[in-house]
Structure 1
Amino acid sequence: MQANNERLRQILLERERLKKSPQAMAKASGIGIARFVVSCNDASLVLALAKEVMIIVNNYSTREWPSLEKWISMLPFQFVKGFAPELTEADREKQLQNWEALTYEEKLTEASHDDQWTLSSWLSWLEPEEREWFWWDATLFDVPLNNSHFLIEVTTLDSTFMSGALKKLFKACGAFDVVSEDDL
């Protein structure tokens, strides 16, 4: 399936922002900016790994989407091992039936349960036609001798979006908590 024009535009803009942070006064390329505080033991390490993962994902967002096996070989091992084991075909079918029966609000809640994520389920939310958020910028907090937090900013296509895949990105990279600025 092909991403619509707006998603494709956001993917290309994200590609540039992953290389170089936007100017301080740059206007969001989506409808706005959502901010999350990421807590971890080594913010520099977690942020670098997350950015590496997103560069790989973004590069394949304008090409043929790879198979799960190919993703496993391309993505950093440290990231891949942060996911639950893949489901059997029968379990996947049952999960899909349960998912399709949920309302949008129930899907928001369900997607926030980080312990249930497999790599394939995470990747499904990063497929170009499913993307709801795009990397904007990240800032390490300047706290002397305490490299344990950073701020991630994403631009979104809607004012409400499913942030579970965003949170799982950082948790699979080693973060222990990802909290929306709205929840602080």
Structure 2
Amino acid sequence: MLTIIWAGGQPGKISALRRMTQEEWDLLRRDLPTNVKTYIDCDEDTILIFHPNFSEKELMEIENFDDLKFSDGLIPVITKDEKGLVLMQAFSTLESLELSQKESMGIYFSRSRNRLWRKGDTSGHIQKLRRILAPKDGSFVVYEVKQEGAACHEGYYSCFFREQDRSGNKNLAPEIPFLGK
């Protein structure tokens, strides 16, 4: 499954988040306007689509997690920095959300390791949590963080450091700095 994030541009004017199969994405991407910018994350399982006509979804700061929609115990999390730049997408459980809120840190649930994951535990590139936001429908969460170092395990400030053209070629996005691992 892919996660598709629709945004009205950078800084992160989030419009929507959808999960879909590769086949669904392949069909959908043919119908995208020609002037969209498409970025793919380091794991190639999240796609960030920018278009100036995408409207910004209203996000509200949340204190509790009662109205969130978890699927199999998980909810997608979009992480953006204080300026609004989309840094990454991951998943959280109720436990990781509560710990993030309590510790004011970016804490997620690693599906591959099947355990909690504190951003920066091994790299030292931490995320100091400023706010937790969600749309009214509770379909995803946004962490607004102060990023210290690289958000991406490959050493880039954002996991969305490659732009993908219409033919599928991926090129480094010069606006995303490499900070080292």
- Greater C-alpha Rg: 1
Give TM class, smaller chain: under 0.3
Relative contact order higher in (CA < 8 Å, ≥ 6 apart): 1
Quick check: which one's strand share is greater? 2
Quick check: which one's helix share is greater? 1
TM-score for both structures, normalised by structure 1? 0.27
TM-score for both structures, normalised by structure 2? 0.28
